[in-house]
Amino acid sequence: MTDGTGKDDGRAADGGAAEGSSPRRTRRQFPGISSRAYEHPADRSALVALRKLSGFDTVFKALSSLLPERSLRLLFLSDSVRVCDVQFPHLNDMLRDACHILDLEKVPSMYVSQDPKPNAMCIGLDEPIIVVTTGLVELLDEEEMRAVVGHEVGHALSGHAVYRTILLFLTNLALRVAWIPLGNVAVMAIVTALREWFRKSELSADRAGLLVGQDLQASLRGLMKIAGGNHLHQMNVDAFLAQAEEYERGGDLRDSVLKILNVLPRSHPFTTVRAAELKRWAESRDHQRLMDGHYPRRDEDQDASVTDSLRQSAASYASDVRGSKDPLMKLVTDIAGGAGELGGRVRSRFGGFGSGRDAGAPPAGGDAPAGPPGGSGG
């Protein structure tokens, strides 16, 4: 079986070792690891701030009767298959293994729900519940599925299930008062900020999945399959990552605006973007130090500084802008760096939209603008 790059990964054609068996390799365990070790800086800053609010969790857990959590628990118990030693035992082994690697003492309940759409989620206030669909189970091989289970256990360890449920409750509450003048504006601001955090929390969980599976190619293959289906022999990981590169750098300012509009309503980043982000993190010094055993412990979480976390988040966003190849982000960087000729630069970046006189001329002090990409990244 190939790994998506055309190379044989040494596994059987049926997708891996026998169900319920451990991978044929030794994987590292992370005793006492704090979720801060793998969280995206923007996700980490929000979580550290929420954890510092004394009584925040307690108050909203007391209000859990107002949320559909009880109903969801009963729904999954009555109409899905609970993972255990005798039901989906290979998933049960993966779940326990993921909790062992991330040192999560209490193993969350896990259910398989009949749904052809590949999906997984971690929900709940008092006790996280992990749900995976049959579409996902049937799509992924063992090592790819291991990364997904690790992804959901990462959500549980970070407390995303608690905070997501709380913030969704607050959002629903805000929607009820949207009739108040300017209420819609306020609600959209809340929802937009909430979705941005959701997207960053998904990047965090992708990293947790890599820590559990410790197989970057499997993680990337899983994301590629979620995007393109179970046709691994027709796909290639390197080409898939190249799509992310093309998506980021291609087009002009019109495309940059469309990218923003496309991502705003989404709770997850685009799949190619997730793959590229995970690969960058896997090659980073932070990941190497973590794998070497140098990581924050959860018994130190109470000492985490909100100010430091916010500073790291701001630095991360600034670094993303500086390193981005997106035309809009490059323009922002140029402006911040004191580049002149703003009007001419904007016209050239738009490819002469609305004016054909000097559309092809390069901006003063810069290179000629890139033409439109050869194809859309989707």
pLDDT tens for the chain, residues 1 to 378: 444 444 444 333 333 333 444 455 789 999 999 998 998 887 766 666 655 555 555 665 565 555 566 777 888 999 999 999 999 999 999 999 999 999 998 999 999 999 999 999 998 766 889 999 999 999 999 999 999 999 999 999 988 877 666 666 666 666 666 666 655 666 666 667 777 778 888 999 999 999 999 999 999 999 999 999 999 999 999 999 999 999 888 767 777 778 778 887 787 899 999 999 999 999 999 999 999 999 999 888 676 555 665 566 555 555 655 565 655 555 556 565 554 454 555 555 555 544 444 444 444 444 444 443 333 334
* The pLDDT of residue 207: 97
Tokens of 150: 């690790």
CB burial class (10 A; 0-12, 13-18, 19+) of residue 240? buried
**pTM tops 0.85:** no
Quick one: pLDDT at residue 48? Answer: 60
